Structure 1
Amino acid sequence: MTQMLPMPGVQSLSETKQRLLAKYLRAETAPRSASSDGITSRPRGESVPLSLSQEQLFLRETGIPDIPPLYNECVTLRMAGPLNITILERSLHEIIRRHEPWRTSYDVQKGQPVQIIHPAPAEFFLPVLDLRGLASTRQEKEIGGLIGELVQRPFDVKQAPLLRVQLVRLSDFEQRLYLIAHLSVVDGVSVYQIFPEELAALYYAYLSGQPSALTNLPVTFGDYAYWQRQTVEGEAVERQLAYWRKQLRGELPVLDWPNDCARPARQTFRGKIQSLTLPSTLADEVKRLSKREGVTLFMTLLASFVTLLHGYTGQKDIIVGTPSPGGRKRSEVQKLLGYFLTPVPLRFDLTANPTFCELLRQAQRLTVEAISNDGIPVEVLSERLNVKPDLSRTPLFSVAISLQPPMPQLGLDWSVTSMDIGSGGSPWEFYMAFIDQPGAMMARVQYNPDIFEAATINRMWRDFERLLGRVTTNASSRLSDLESSRAESAKASAGEPQQNATETLQNA
């Protein structure tokens, strides 16, 4: 068993609670919120508000003219083996019936954005693109064209559903199910755990001539959003604000990276995506380091990224963002599809020139503290703390990192990836999302091409690989000893080819 190492607020926990905390940090479960009031069905006839996090997505995307589609998510479910399309259609239909967000639109009533929850459709039709018989290169070209158009087409948030589905048949035993969803109706737990698990269970049942064995959901996403609005103020919120006032006191750092281009005076929100893969031996070493040091894989990736940024900039005060699944702390919502994320700022203090092991402890502490204080959207937090707005940057941080939740065992040869095709937009100027699957650790790097050049992203990835190689062999090194990555990067960019990792540039 991997134990949580001592840190403020954790060393006094029992062994059982430490295991639960470790599972939450791997997105396998979540601690209950401080509120003792359970979520119940909302009153009939009342307007259904957006959740706090949903509202921020809605306000940004509807409040900025001519903005690219920031929140169109592309999810791919690769399905190996024979497939009964009629049974798959029926299974998808049942999931849409069970989960309100996948049949919801938004509107403004009395000056407030609200959810409009539509009845479940009487039937569901799954469009199918049959590419059997085509060469693989032609298949990928056809997929890129069709799915690219679906991803890059903006959603009208006043029209349900905020979801597009497309099945692609590559052979009799190879299919891909593409979900193009507005981020306000999904999160990592939704697409990597709940959706594939429910789809597999329903598919098995219907294929066997049995009814659905899924239990009824105790509450709906609308019930959660209504409950959240009733509990949003009070002692718990003030306690969280007090934490953030302390954590974000003084002058906030502005990351001095990259320096490729003159920064636009206003955010353009344009985005491209690169898909990359860590060498399997290096990925295994990173996991072994995490286990050896008693931290999660995410914390090791986070600390490594902060080390890289420190090497690039020399800055000793760095803020990196990460999406925290704060809305899933209630047991009632564990099985709901929907958007439960709250991005949080993690502020690192590197003034003491820590060793990498010491930085891991700091990453561990900051992550746990942020999870405990993630009830306030970053935009609201910025306003409440009177942070001076900068029209050229997002509030509090401009770069972010995440690790997607692990998939459950399904009994089928199915696998999920996300961010496979870009929408043309990006809410942050740099976002690196890792996907850890058996046999491969992948990353999706989403970046703003008005700020980053593609060569900078390629160089960053090579530097990141080199840095991971160093820290896995000598985690006791101080950051100053790891800064040689900057010099090596300059040498590498002058003498190495630009592509030395498995990577695909996808223009959006």
Structure 2
Amino acid sequence: MTAAVEAARRLPPAQRAELRVRLWRRGLTGAAAGLDDAGPAPASCGQDAMVYLHRRAPGSTAYHTPVACRLTGQLDVDALRHALAELVRRHEVLRTSLPLRDGRPVQLVAPAAPVPLESCTAAAAAALRRAPFDLAAGPLLRAGLVRLDERGSVLTLTFHHAIVDGWSVGVLTRELVELYTAAVTGRAAVLPPVVPQYGEYARWQREWLAGEQAERGLRFWLAHLADPPGPLPLPAGRPRPAGPALRGAVHEVLLPPALRDDLAALARRCGATPFMVLLALFQVLLARVSGAADILVGTQLANRRRAELHGLVGYVSNVVVLRGRPRQAPTFAAFLAAVRTTCLDAYEHQEIPLDVVVRELAPPRPPGRNPLFQVGCTLHPTPEPVPAAAGLTVTPLAPDGADDARLDLELDAVDGADGLRCAFTYAADLFDAATVAGWADTFTALARQAAADPDADLEWAPPPDHDAEPAVRQVFADLLGLPAVDPDADFFALGGHSLLALRLAERLGDGFSLSGWLAAGAPASARRAAALLREPVLREPMLSVPDGRT
């Protein structure tokens, strides 16, 4: 070991992180400079979270990332196989698995090998997409090819989110087109070297987190999220299942071009961005339907402010939690100004991984719920056109159907020529389709009102009536061991006792997102419990466990 290498290894972690970035700018890696040992790289913070979630729900598809492209023209299947193999050879993360070493996940990179490209039916391709991954063993990429006719095929790629993010998909698509074109035409592909690889990014991230800049960012998040509210009380139609995985479903609405343009003009007048307007509308909607005053919403940020990371494939994106109190704002314009400040502050500190923030805050982790936030909102960039590939027209396709839900409710918006397409992905185990459709209609109406008169007073009518009585009666019946219960019958008269009352309070509090159930005790009857679900704030005490009942 040379004196220079020895000196570099003795640097404090934050200084090693800075040295890595300087090496990357010169096209060099930390390994070439002797910074790294021969062992596997640690998992990134995002990968740590993926392993944790996977162990809780190994069969869930919530974190599968499906990509599908229609290929129109004369397809050279051998050239496509070659291009896929080259893609995986270039990017080590595509052949990485995440086994545990000493209780912590590490990145184990497999040797480069051809990617199996299965010729399959559409049904078989859907099955490939939903088949569970084994994060510890890999591979975390699957490919399928559906032949439609002589001049039409659909290429399907399914990744686990532990190895890609939305930005990565764009990088991979462009490189796959170039590699395929090079294979068909017999020329060398024109692509930049991959520096850094994702394993070194994870090493850099761990080192950077030990520095003063990361410490300042963490202090910001701990202050921003101090004393977080409990779970958002969205009115659910059914009790929450015990397990962490929830079936997903999607309801879409389209804000037409004129309305989209009016909202963009509002953003410009207020010095905001279209995403800030979208988030403000979403938080006002959530305040209306839940009655909550303090609302936490997660959003995905690309987290690639450093130019050295623009060509990196891997899970680099980060979720930041944006806090809003729409009921404190007199008008939508006033609330948008507050949202703007919140977003700008969050963007400044977006490199602090959510996993680190959650670990430091240590919020309660109710079973089957995401800590801190249960709803998300993201405005995705407009997809760039994919260049032709040696006589093929490549058209990205939206995935069919919905995966398992990551959160109770997510709003994903994409701008296009036909307007702003807003997809409400929801946990179908909790919410009825008609309920979510109603929320989407309210969201559209809010958008029109905000665009027409952002200085009008915000109205806070009570949440719409929500009939949860059938589901609540079923909870009563399940715990009491009865086939059915009278909605007005007293819980204790039906055979309930103190232990069952506590279990009932826990089931209702978790299943229907109502804070305060455990503190207040069990409701007197199923009808009273369902009525309380319609109240934005619990104002009346529920029945406490009576003395002498066992």
TM-score (norm 1): 0.78
Larger gyration radius, structure 1 or structure 2: 2
* 2:473 aligned residue: none
- Choose from 169, 182, 201 the match for 1:205: 182
- Choose from 230, 233, 236 the match for 2:207: 230
2 CA distance for matches of 1:417 and 1:232?
A: 38
2 CA distance for matches of 1:80 and 1:358?
A: 50
Residue 402 of structure 1 pairs with residue 370 of structure 2: no
Query: Closer, same or farther in 2 for the Cα pair 1:65/1:259, shift >3 Å?
Result: closer
Residue 414 of structure 1 pairs with residue 394 of structure 2: yes
* 1:322 aligned residue: 299
CA displacement at 1:409 relative to structure 2: 4.0
Query: Closer, same or farther in 2 for the Cα pair 1:470/1:444, shift >3 Å?
Result: same
2 CA distance for matches of 1:298 and 1:104?
A: 34
2 CA distance for matches of 1:374 and 1:464?
A: 27
1 CA distance for matches of 2:370 and 2:59?
A: 14
Task: Encode CA deviations 1:297-349: one digit per residue, 9 max, x unaligned.
Answer: 222221111111122133321111112223x2332221111111221210012
What pairs with 1:448-467 in structure 2 (closer than 5 Å)? Answer: 448-467=427-446
What pairs with 1:98-113 in structure 2 (closer than 5 Å)? Answer: 98-113=90-105
Partner SS state of residue 329, structure 1: coil
Contact 2:197-2:312 at 8 Å conserved across structures: yes
Contact 2:291-2:463 at 8 Å conserved across structures: no
How many residues align? The count is: 436
Structure 1 unaligned residues grouped into runs of 5+: 1-32, 130-141, 491-508
Contact 1:432-1:443 at 8 Å conserved across structures: yes
Structure 1 vs Structure 2 CA RMSD: 2.8
CA displacement at 1:127 relative to structure 2: 2.3
Contact 1:277-1:440 at 8 Å conserved across structures: no
Residue 115 of structure 1 pairs with residue 107 of structure 2: yes
* 2:30 aligned residue: 41
Partner SS state of residue 381, structure 2: coil
What pairs with 1:69-148 in structure 2 (closer than 5 Å)? Answer: 69-121=61-113, 123-129=114-120, 143=122, 145-148=123-126
* 2:474 aligned residue: none
Structure 2 unaligned residues grouped into runs of 5+: 1-14, 22-28, 467-550
Partner SS state of residue 184, structure 1: coil
Which residue identity is paired with 2:43? L
CA displacement at 1:446 relative to structure 2: 2.8
* 2:249 aligned residue: 273
What pairs with 1:483-494 in structure 2 (closer than 5 Å)? Answer: 483=460
Which residue identity is paired with 1:312? V
Query: Closer, same or farther in 2 for the Cα pair 1:156/1:263, shift >3 Å?
Result: closer
Query: Closer, same or farther in 2 for the Cα pair 1:102/1:277, shift >3 Å?
Result: farther
What pairs with 1:313-462 in structure 2 (closer than 5 Å)? Answer: 313-326=290-303, 328-412=304-388, 413-417=393-397, 420-423=400-403, 425-439=404-418, 441-462=420-441
Query: Closer, same or farther in 2 for the Cα pair 1:200/1:311, shift >3 Å?
Result: same
Task: Encode CA deviations 1:191-215: one digit per residue, 9 max, x unaligned.
Answer: 2x21222222333333333210011
Query: Closer, same or farther in 2 for the Cα pair 1:173/1:442, shift >3 Å?
Result: farther
2 CA distance for matches of 1:396 and 1:269?
A: 17
Query: Closer, same or farther in 2 for the Cα pair 1:392/1:96, shift >3 Å?
Result: closer
CA displacement at 1:401 relative to structure 2: 1.2
Contact 1:275-1:420 at 8 Å conserved across structures: no
What pairs with 1:233-272 in structure 2 (closer than 5 Å)? Answer: 233-264=210-241, 266-272=242-248
Query: Closer, same or farther in 2 for the Cα pair 1:399/1:34, shift >3 Å?
Result: farther
2 CA distance for matches of 1:366 and 1:339?
A: 25
* 2:283 aligned residue: 306
CA displacement at 1:110 relative to structure 2: 2.1
2 CA distance for matches of 1:278 and 1:233?
A: 45
* 1:18 aligned residue: none
Q: Percent identity?
A: 29
1 CA distance for matches of 2:285 and 2:16?
A: 36
Bigger RCO (CA 8 Å, 6+ sep) = 1
2 CA distance for matches of 1:267 and 1:360?
A: 37
2 CA distance for matches of 1:418 and 1:34?
A: 42
TM-score (norm 2): 0.72
Which residue identity is paired with 1:61? H
1 CA distance for matches of 2:377 and 2:57?
A: 27
Partner SS state of residue 479, structure 1: coil
* 1:168 aligned residue: 146
Contact 2:266-2:451 at 8 Å conserved across structures: yes
Partner SS state of residue 212, structure 1: coil
2 CA distance for matches of 1:103 and 1:189?
A: 18
Which residue identity is paired with 1:308? L
Which residue identity is paired with 1:387? P
CA displacement at 1:49 relative to structure 2: 0.7
2 CA distance for matches of 1:81 and 1:439?
A: 27
